[in-house]
Structures are given as C-alpha cells and as structure tokens.
Amino acid sequence: MTAVALPILIPFVLIISLLFVKSVRWARVIAIAGSTVLLCVSVYLFIRLGSEKVITLNAGGWPSPAGITLVVDYLSALMLITASVLLLTISIYSVRFLSVSFDRPKFYLFFFSLAMGLNGSFITGDVFNLYVWFEVMLMSSFVLIAMGSRKEQLEGSIKYLALNLTGSMLFLAGIGLLYGKTGTLNMAHLAEILKNDDQAMLMNTTAMLFFVAFGIKAALFPLFFWLPASYHTPDITVTSLFAGLLTKVGVYAFIRFFTLFFVQDQVFWHNLLLITAGFTMLTGGMSASAHYETRRILSYHIISQIGYMVMGLGIFTPLALAGAIFFTIHNMIAKTNTFLISGIISKMKGTFYLKDIGGLYKQNPFLAVLFIIPAFALAGIPPLSGFFGKFMLIKAGLEDKHYVITTVAVFTGILTLYSMIKIWNEAFLKKQPDNAFNQSGKIKTGFIEVLPSVILGLVSILMGLFAATVFQYTLEAANQLIDPTIYIEKVLHTLKQ
C-alpha cells in the first residue's frame, strides 16, 4: 500500500519546496498546511488498520531482506498521529514565538527534515534504515539547537551532539554484530530467525549495545546528562519541538526491539529495564524539584516521565504495555504544552526564572487555566490523561507483584505534583517582585498565541474523558507487541509475493 510511504514523502517534498521559498509568509503557510496534511495521512493509515491490522510496503518494489520494508501497526500509527498533532501545533506556535533572528524558511526546512526522520523511524521495518532515520533526526536537531548562534546554544549543542554521536556509534556497532550473527536486518526476519535459534542467548552482547544506544537517545539513567545540559539553550519553539518528540523515538525503539526480536533471557532484561526505569524516575523528579528555571524543571521532568514508559516495558504484560503506550502519548501532548506555555510566560515577563515572575493569575486568568491542564495531567490528577496512564502502569505493577517500582512511580508522581505546584505558585499566585523586569506590554496573548495550547489542552482533556476508547487502541497495540505473529506474517508474506 503506497500510502505507507506518505509520512516520509510528504516532508521530503516540503523540504524541496522550502529550498526555493524566500518569503516568510509562504514558509509559514507551507509549514502549517504541510503539518495538517501529515496529520490527515496519519489518521487515514490508522483507520485502515481497522481492517488490515498491519500495513506493509516494500520500498522500491525490492523484496526483503535485499530491500527495505515499511510497516505500520497500531504502535507506529498511534505515534504518527501524536507526532503530527505536535508538529501542527508547533508550526502554529512558531508564527508568533520563533525568534526574529531566525531564517524562517531555513527553520521550517529542518523542521520537516526532523519530521521526516521521526516518521521514518516509526514506520521502518529494517534496523539499518532505523539507524539512518536516527541520523537524519540527529543532524536536523543539531542544526535547530544551534540556530541563533548564542554562546550558550553552541555550548549546549556540542554536548548534545557529542553524547548522541556516542549513541549512534554504539547503535552502528550493534547493527554490525546483529548482521554478522543473523545475516539479516529486517525486523520481522530477525524475529523469525531468533525465535527458533538455539544460540539466541548469545544475542545478549548485541542487545546490550542497543540498550545503551537507545538509553542515550531516550535519556535513561545514567545516560541522560545531555538533555538538561542542552534543552534550555535554544529558542523555546525548538525546545518545545524536542521535548515532545526526540526522546520518545528512543522509547519507541526500546519497545520495538525488546518485544519483537530481543526476547531471549527476558528475566534479565526486564529486571534491568525496571531498575533503570526506577532510577530514571527518581533522578529526574528530584532534580526538577531543586530548580527554579521553568525550562530546566520541565527538562528534568522529561527524564522522570521516560521512566514510566520504560517501566511498562519492563513489567511486560498487556496492561503494562498498553499503559506505557497510553502514557507516552499523553506525555508527548502534555509536556509539549507546558513548554509552549512557558514560552508565553517568558514573553510576557522577560524571563524563565520563577523568582522574577509573579502575578500572572490576575493578569491573565485564561493562561493560568491553560497551564493547569497540562500541569495536572503530568501530575496524574483525574480526570486528565495522565491519571489514567499512571493508573494503568501502577495497576499492572501491583498485579505482577512489582511493588518496588510501583512505589517509586507513586513517589515520582508526588514529586511531579510538587514541581507543578511550585511553578503555579511562583508564576501565577505570588505577587510580581518589585525589582523584576516586566515586559508584559510587549506581547498580547491573542487567539493565535494561545491556539496551540488550547488544542493540546483539549487533547489532554479528551484523552481523559474517552480514556476507555484510547485504551482499547493502546491495548490492541500491546497485544500486537506481545504476540507479533501478525506483524511477522504480514511482512514475510509481503516479502514472498
């Protein structure tokens, strides 16, 4: 089905178009229209899964393992839709909040280059192709994080690039070992080979390379230091783009690899995942509690929330995986929204530092409501989306007798609530400090400024109100992961045609 390639082809066409665009207005139109088309295509592919369960395409007509197979199942479709929603809202947000020093056409060019790498990662069925899409994302994100060329940006971008390149080298080394041991890099073919391989235990050495590589990409403990060192340095539009998307690709890769073909010695890997998840939650949550700069607080909370996602993979039951997927979608939406609102606050008050902010509730009550929605969602307050994601994971942990990680998850939720209340008290409730610089007259929060946050806030609310419906789809994705028979048969059947 050729539509499978559209999430890659559409950004590619937009990139080519933007090479010839010099007008800022036309660049904005292309960005918003292109993101809307991507969302429509993602929804179409998701609808098609209702009858086909798994959709495949052999790129270029070449049969695998000689060629590359593109695959859309429920997991990849849900990730495509969520990413498309974020791309659309951030393209709208950039109209008002992207720094005037940026070359807009160039920004949108790399914006869609990042989107192409992101979508390619979600739908590829080939391990080496996944590495290629990771590198597309890495190079695009490096350019975006360095745009503006301020000293702190360049320093942050160097840290970001150095640590992520280390992850890429480990990824490539793992690919070499994987191919040397199996003779293939097609994911379905790997699953078929390793399922019946008496020597599958020898794959642990290769799996460890991927574990570390994806741990860096996903910002797992103790490999997360690049994230808080770099995410607070670029323009807030760029940070918002990164916050909801980049680390989640690492989580996606973890879920895909460790459910499809790295399934040997599960007791070891699941315990390692749970231990890592626990430390990731605690480290991120406690670090966030110690800061008073909104971007740093939210960046550390990206780390802590990754722990919940990996926790679901470590428990490895249908409910746990469904909860991890549900929580990932929720977090992508809510976390991006908090960054968008922090950008509005910064424009109004001239700073991201909470000690110099105050009085926002009286000045703009609607903005206060917009912040409360994602903040409470991240803290797990019902009936918002975060409550149901955490509830599924905690329930799965208790049912499978993983009491330690469940306790850590509950405690981290309390730390998250504390951090969100701290931002609320400092920015909205307390009086504006007399000696603080206030540039509230320089920006008006009109419709276009708050529209992205309104959209994402509504998504968080609707995910909570219709949690049972969303859960059915995440459970379907979880069942496909735990029993990948349909995935394997669909791909291999396509290969034999």
Report pLDDT digits (tens) over 221-265: 988 888 888 888 888 999 999 999 999 999 999 999 999 988 888
Residues 6+ apart with CB under 8 A from 468: none
Q: What is the pLDDT of residue 231?
A: 85
Percentage of the chain surpassing pLDDT 70? 94
Contact 204, 264 (CB under 8 A): yes
Answer whether residue 343 is part of any domain.
yes
Answer whether residue 497 is part of any domain.
no
> What confidence category does residue 284 fall into, taking pLDDT thresholds of 50, 70 and 90?
very high
End-to-end CA distance of the chain: 13
Q: What is the pLDDT of residue 228?
A: 86
The average pLDDT across 100-121 equals: 90
Answer whether residue 487 is part of any domain.
no
Mean pLDDT score across all residues of the chain: 89
Q: What is the pLDDT of residues 159-193, one digit of tens each?
A: 888 888 899 999 999 999 999 888 889 999 898 88
Domain limits at 297? 265-465
Q: What is the pLDDT of residue 440?
A: 47
- Please give the structure tokens belonging to residue 39: 């969302």
Taking alpha carbons only, the member of 92, 106, 122 closest to residue 255 is: 122
Contact 229, 299 (CB under 8 A): no
Q: Are strands 55-58 and 69-72 parallel, antiparallel or unpaired?
A: antiparallel
274 has pLDDT over 70:
yes
DSSP 111-173: HHHHHHHHHHHHHB-BHHHHHHHHHHHHHHHHHHHHTT--HHHHHHHHHHHHHHHHHHHHHHH
Q: What is the pLDDT of residue 437?
A: 54
Q: What is the pLDDT of residue 496?
A: 46
Q: What is the pLDDT of residues 53-99, one digit of tens each?
A: 899 988 777 766 677 889 999 999 999 999 999 999 999 999 888 87
Phi, psi for 293 (deg, rounded to 5): -105, 120
User: Which CA distances in Å does 209 have to 172, 175, 178, 203?
Assistant: 9, 9, 10, 10
Number of other CB atoms surrounding residue 417 within 10 Å: 16
Answer whether residue 415 is part of any domain.
yes
Answer whether residue 360 is part of any domain.
yes
Q: State how many domains the chain has.
A: 1
442 has pLDDT over 50:
no
Q: What is the pLDDT of residues 286-345, one digit of tens each?
A: 998 888 888 899 999 999 999 999 999 999 999 999 999 999 999 999 999 999 999 999
Separation of alpha carbons 387 and 377, rounded Å: 7
Answer whether residue 212 is part of any domain.
no
Number of other CB atoms surrounding residue 22 within 10 Å: 10
Answer whether residue 235 is part of any domain.
no
Answer whether residue 325 is part of any domain.
yes
459 has pLDDT over 80:
yes
Taking alpha carbons only, the member of 38, 28, 160, 16 closest to residue 98 is: 28
Separation of alpha carbons 185 and 192, rounded Å: 12
Separation of alpha carbons 256 and 122, rounded Å: 10
